[in-house]
């Protein structure tokens, strides 16, 4: 079925933070990708195997909740983008 992408955003994520976010995401069955896209700049997103609703939604919510908790405890300020479906994706300010 491919992959389900969520938590997309723009902004630079340093490697140490990116590796930690990826480790958190993997605990919930997802991965975190952060890259510098030629012509677009720094972007990031989470991905997991597309298993359909409600499994994708559960993975998304668990992952974003855990990442938000980690960042909040370490005083990493998050910028929240709300897409048309109303889901939130964290983005580090800066």
pTM of the model: 0.79
Q: CB-hemisphere CA count at 13 Å for 88?
A: 13
Q: What is the pLDDT of residues 11-43, one digit of tens each?
A: 888 899 899 999 999 999 999 999 999 998 998
Q: CA–CA separation, 53 vs 40, rounded Å?
A: 31
Q: CA–CA separation, 30 vs 48, rounded Å?
A: 4
Name the residue among 10, 11, 22, 3 with its Cα closest to residue 63: 22
The pLDDT of residue 41 is 92
Domains delineated in the chain:
3-92 (3.30.70)
Q: What is the pLDDT of residues 37-89, one digit of tens each?
A: 999 899 899 999 999 889 999 999 999 899 888 888 888 765 545 343 434 44
């Amino acid at each position: 079925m491919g992959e389900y992408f969520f938590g997309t955003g723009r902004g630079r994520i340093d490697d140490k933070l990116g590796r930690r976010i990826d480790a958190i995401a993997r605990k919930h069955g997802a991965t975190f990708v952060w890259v510098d896209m030629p012509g677009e700049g720094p972007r990031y997103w989470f991905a997991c195997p597309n298993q359909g609703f409600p499994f994708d939604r559960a993975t998304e919510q668990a992952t974003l909740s855990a990442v938000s908790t980690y960042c909040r405890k370490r005083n990493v300020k998050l910028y929240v983008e709300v897409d048309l479906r109303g889901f939130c994706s964290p983005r580090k300010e800066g």
